[in-house]
Amino acid sequence: MTTQLNTLRLLLIEDYQLVRLMLRSVLSSVSRYQVVGDFDSIETMLHSKAGSTVVLKPDLILMDLDLGSACSGGKAVAKIHECFPEAKVIALTEHQEAQWVLEAIQAGISGYCPKSAPHQTLFRMIEAVSNGAVWFEAPAAKWIFRCIQMGNDLGMKPAMPNDETIPKQSKTTLLTVREQEVLTLLAQGKSNPQIAAELRFSEHTAKAHVSHILKKLGVCDRVQAAVKAVEWGLCQGA
């Protein structure tokens, strides 16, 4: 018996009409993807009846970072999160400057995909992000870890009060061995189902481990947990 997947509602924000049309066509080839709207900017969406936040209700948003308006980059990501706080955001862009990517991460993107990537990569990223994972294609992923190695915390607030004063030994013993295993996979962008499969326990257990990890690290989401893990050297094999 074949299990039918739930419909995934997608919203496109891209200033070039031809790119929007091509994206809509490619995404429509997947039966469970429903493109609920496409707009050339957030401003256009907000001033359009078809752009009503009540009508659209996207699960995931694909957006360019450079929208040719004042509301671009990290500002655009922050604004779209205000409109749709429950939706995941993937930056689908040709912008590869580190500052653009880092600002978008700070604003809350869950994925970064160059427009030059194969459509199969985009499909895999959509599925992973919709299941709670984070996915950053090169060179974005390389820049993130390079910034961390250089002591740049991506502009995030300290995860815990005075965490600089916590001895390294205490930091490395903060998590159990199993939690460090989960965190290592989380930092690789694995979703809860993927973590469960790799470590051979239930998805419910994976979800519980992730929740405990976020609480112990004092962070709000998986991206911040991955950043803190690398900063503190908590990932096994990192």
Q: 39-85, pLDDT tens digit by residue?
A: 998 888 888 766 566 678 899 999 988 886 667 778 888 889 888 98
Shared-domain flag, residues 191 and 225: yes
Shared-domain flag, residues 39 and 103: yes
3-state secondary structure of 88: strand
- End position of a domain, from candidates 110, 145, 180: 145
* Phi and psi at residue 61, to the nearest 5°: -120, 130
Domain total in the chain: 2
| Residues of the domain holding 134 | 8-145
| Residue 13 belongs to domain with CATH number | 3.40.50.2300
Shared-domain flag, residues 49 and 140: yes
Residue 29: exposed, middle, or buried by beta-carbon count in 10 A (0-12, 13-18, 19+)? exposed
Edge-first strand order for the sheet with 88-93 is 33-39, 8-13, 60-63, 88-93, 111-114, 135-136
- The pTM of the full predicted model, rounded to 2 decimals, is 0.62
Average pLDDT across the chain, whole number: 78
Give me the DSSP letters along 26-61. Answer: HHTTSTTEEEEEEES-HHHHHTSGGG-HHHH--SEE
Shared-domain flag, residues 201 and 140: no
The encoded tokens of residue 125 equal 């990223």
Give the CA diameter of the chain: 56
pLDDT at 123 over 90: yes
What is the Cβ-side half-sphere exposure of residue 104, based on CA atoms within 13 angstroms?
32
- End position of a domain, from candidates 145, 165, 182: 145
Shared-domain flag, residues 20 and 107: yes
Shared-domain flag, residues 132 and 224: no
Shared-domain flag, residues 141 and 160: no
Please give the pLDDT value at position 100: 73
Specify the higher pLDDT residue, 106 or 155. 106
Upstream peptide bond of 85 is cis (omega within 30 degrees of 0) = no
Shared-domain flag, residues 118 and 177: no
